[in-house]
Amino acid sequence: MNSLLLAEVSGPAFPVLTAIVVLPLIGAALLTLLPRNRPDLLKQVAVLVSAAVGAMTIWVLVQFDTGSAAADFQFVDRQSWISSLGISWTLGVDGISLFLVVLTGILFPISIIAVNEKKDPKSYYAWILVLEAGCLGAFLALDLFAFFVAFEIVLVPMYFLIAKWGHGDRAYAATKFFIYTMLGSALMFVGILSLVFLTASATGGPITFDLQTLANSQALSTTTSRWIFLSFAAAFAVKVPLFPFHTWLPDAHTNAPTAGSVILAGVMLKLGTYGFLRFGIYLFPEAAVYFAPMLITLGVIGIVYGAIVATMQKDLKRLIAYSSIAHLGFIMIGIFALDTQGLEGGLLQMVNHGLSTGALFLLVGMIYERRHTREIAKLGGLQKSAPILAAAFMIVMLSSVGLPGLNGFVGEFLILLGSFAAHRWWAVVAATGVILAALYMLWAYQRVFHGPAEGDNATMPDLNAKEGLVLISLISMIVFLGVYPKPVLDRMEPAVDALISHVETNVPRFKEPTATHLATVKLGDLSALEGSASGEGSGN
């Protein structure tokens, strides 16, 4: 009786996930039909469409089964697409993608509401909606081909957003962004094709792009799957971006319009880390364990390096862009710690980074709108003229540096805990990123907001009601996740555990390095940590 009911719930008649992906596209199409000279109407339509999508993602969150199906893909919608090649339109959501989908659903309406674009609003809003469809498609796709299409589609609207509505050297930045990410994706495309065809030839089964089928077959030899993992890693490492593939990011961020920066940092960078989780580890568990030390090393370098370079920046937006590199490095070490704490911390930190960095870019955009500069040296004493803006900036900044009580701390601490179990020296180095983050963020805050206010800085208007509302919505989420992250973590955990046991099943030498596991090794012996560390240590 009960299971029957559950079966009905988990297979709803209405394909909500497809609707979530398609609705923004319909919205974009609708916008092209509207008159060009009605910016208010255009914006209202865009807000309405993105808000409707946001509402649907929240509906998915509310309806998400935390009971028996908690670890599975839910709301799965499977339609045949190009059946001769085994390509299908398969969407589904689990604890790993759930909050990224919700984050996307929330950040898009916020960034649309926050900025009034005057230059060609019609194509601007249309591109943003296409971008939303691409991001959601990438997070939801359970078919490699569908994923690849969505992963590539996001490049086009972002390219135009930067190139047309950006600042400064925008054409350079946009083209660099496009070509760099495209090069990575090209390698991944090679990888996808190899994986699909080699698996088909190895198993003798039909050709399929279905993620779960491929992940469960594990038919390729160790060497082959390591190579294919690297081709996927190339795409994701550029997207994250992982040191040393990061140089497109500061240019893209600095020159993008505010909404573009918010979405780029808040959502699009997570396509890389999400890709590592969903495709890298899930499809190639052995290769993920094999390359984990390397990726963690790059992550740790990113933390320290991003932080050091950030201290040098003269442009506020560029500084935040470099802080993103450091934060994403943190997420990477959490993910490749390959234990519950690390993975879940990394996942939570993706959401946290989306909220706090999104809010920071909004705030910088608000300052730029008022002062027409982002140069730190030209700002100063803004706390005098705009105390509410300063307070908002302070809270968001503290969340970004990992202050307890705000969201950043929970993610950071879980990551440190998880990575300590796996690679404790790297965890210690990563912990130094904590001071460096405080150094560059507070230093920037001091120069922008403290000190005497002179000239235009003294008369800068404070937040208006709309901006206040936008920021309050983000800050309330920041505080909520800092004080009570339990509901979020509870929903993530089954999927994360399933992923880890998937790795454990397929990689015999790998054992999850958790606290409970350590306890069974030997109570209280620190040297036991070394022996049980994941990856190279115990295995080959």
Map the footprint of another protein across residues 193-232, applying CB under 8 A: 193-194, 197-198, 201, 224
- Which residues in the 423-452 window bind another protein by CB under 8 A? 427-428, 431-432, 434-435, 438-439, 442-443, 446, 449-452
Instruction: Report the alpha-carbon distance of residue 505 to residue 499 in Å, rounded.
Output: 10
504 CB-near residues (< 8 Å, 6+ apart): 510, 511, 512
Of 414, 242, 294, the C-alpha closest to 342 is 414
460 CB-near residues (< 8 Å, 6+ apart): 367, 370, 371, 382, 385, 386, 453
Please say whether the beta carbons of 50 and 24 come within 8 A: yes
Phi-psi region of 65 (alpha: psi -120 to 50; beta: other; left: phi over 0): beta
DSSP state of 523: T
Binding span for another protein by CB under 8 A among 53-61, 110-118, 275-283, 377-385: 377-385
Nearer to another protein, 215 or 337 (CB): 337
- Which residues in the 36-75 window bind another protein by CB under 8 A? none
CB of 527 to another protein, least distance (A): 7
- Which residues in the 254-313 window bind another protein by CB under 8 A? 305, 308-309, 311-312
When binding is defined by CB under 8 A, the residue of 99, 108, 159, 426 that contacts another protein is 159
Please say whether the beta carbons of 72 and 31 come within 8 A: no
Token pair recorded at residue 197: 């065809």
Nearer to another protein, 26 or 171 (CB): 171
When binding is defined by CB under 8 A, the residue of 41, 186, 219, 230 that contacts another protein is 186
Nearer to another protein, 79 or 119 (CB): 119
Binding span for another protein by CB under 8 A among 8-16, 60-68, 79-87, 334-342: 334-342
When binding is defined by CB under 8 A, the residue of 125, 178, 236, 284 that contacts another protein is 178
Of 509, 448, 180, the C-alpha closest to 315 is 448
Token pair recorded at residue 458: 């003294």
- Which residues in the 112-151 window bind another protein by CB under 8 A? 123
User: Residue 23, SS3?
Assistant: helix
- Which residues in the 481-510 window bind another protein by CB under 8 A? 484-486, 489-490, 493, 497
CB of 101 to another protein, least distance (A): 21
Report in angstroms the alpha-carbon separations of 328 from 137, 231, 254, 407: 22, 20, 18, 15
When binding is defined by CB under 8 A, the residue of 24, 134, 260, 381 that contacts another protein is 381
CB of 4 to another protein, least distance (A): 30
Q: Does 244 bind another protein (CB under 8 A)?
A: yes
